[in-house]
Amino acid sequence: MKMAMESTPNKGKGGQGNLETYSVVVADDDRTMAELLATNLRRLGHRVVGVAWNGKEAVDLVLKTRPDVVVMDIHMPILDGLQAAREILNKTMIPIVMSTGMSDARSLHRAVDMNVVSYLVKPFSPAQLKVAVHLAVAQGRSVAAQDTIASAA
């Protein structure tokens, strides 16, 4: 199974200075928000490899494209974002940034329990999106490195 951390991110500028750029899957049932996310990610230099409109499509798209990171809404049909994240994380170590219009404690605790590595509360700025994506990938790399060290010991 290919892990997202094994991919080779681009070290292009893409509006980010010297920060790496990544392949991203966006999942949000609000088409306007999904398009806004995709546009902002592209402006930040990232490559959007697909957009999903519900949790099931998100799982299928992520497993097919193996992006470096996923930006996914919590409240979606068929599978909510947290259910979709659970399915993704059971099969791969791709870091997930959850986005939501709600900052309720229950959703936050569910995200933390599933090792979701970043969380954005809507509305958020492009700068907040940039930070969340880079922190998610860095955290994912850290977890992958720890897993490698633990399995070698």
Separation in Å, CA 150 to CA 53, 67, 138, 140:
37, 25, 18, 15
The pLDDT of 95-101, averaged and rounded, is 89
* Segment of 55-59, 93-97, 133-137 carrying the highest mean pLDDT: 55-59
Please, are residues 107 and 146 in contact by the beta-carbon 8 Å criterion? no
- Percentage of the chain exceeding pLDDT 70: 73
128 vs 108, higher pLDDT: 128
The domain spans of the chain are 4-152
The pLDDT of 88-101, averaged and rounded, is 91
17: left (phi over 0), alpha (psi -120 to 50) or beta: left
- Predicted confidence at residue 119, as pLDDT, reads 82
* Whether the predicted pLDDT of 125 surpasses 80: yes
State both tokens at 49: 């490899």
Cα–Cα distance, 81 to 103 (Å, whole number): 14
3 vs 18, higher pLDDT: 18
Q: By three-state DSSP, how is residue 103 classified?
A: coil
Q: Domain 4-152 classified CATH 3.40.50.10490?
A: no
- Predicted confidence at residue 78, as pLDDT, reads 95
State both tokens at 65: 């494209």
